[in-house]
Amino acid sequence: MSAFKRLLSSSIEIAIPSCTIDSAELYESVLMAMFIFILFFQRGIKIAKQTTDPFGIMLSIGIVLSMVLYTFINVGYVTGVLPVTGLPIPLISHGGSNLVITLSMLGILLNISESKRSVNKKLWNHQ
């Protein structure tokens, strides 16, 4: 028997410590995450209101809604209200491609907030 086959056939036991989270801690962290993303939603809508470009308005609302929707779905299945779907929570869950897309969306949102393009027509009333 070769060394590679012996390595594959041998079993290694790894002791993984169990992690228990109190339900109060779970709900505190869920409420904190929801509060942060509600503030993010409010800021994204403010960016959309300050933009006069129709495409910028729709794009900023779409970016903010997608991130907030992913957060609420993730919070739903962490708390057991929704079935597990596999959507990662933006900026918190581990993952390479999701993080790249999320940071790209945030960069686009920042560019919309900093741009001063105008189409000579206000679509929303400013107070």
Question: Looking at residue 15, what is its pLDDT?
Answer: 60
What average pLDDT does the structure give for the chain?
A: 80
Note the pLDDT tens digit of each residue in 38-76: 999 999 999 999 888 889 999 999 999 999 998 888 888
Question: Looking at residue 84, what is its pLDDT?
Answer: 86
Residue 1 amino acid letter: M
Give the residue-averaged pLDDT of 5-24.
Answer: 62
Question: Looking at residue 26, what is its pLDDT?
Answer: 75
Please say if the pLDDT value at position 109 is more than 90: yes
> By C-alpha distance, which of 47, 49, 52 is closest to 108?
47
CA within 13 Å, CB half, 68: 18
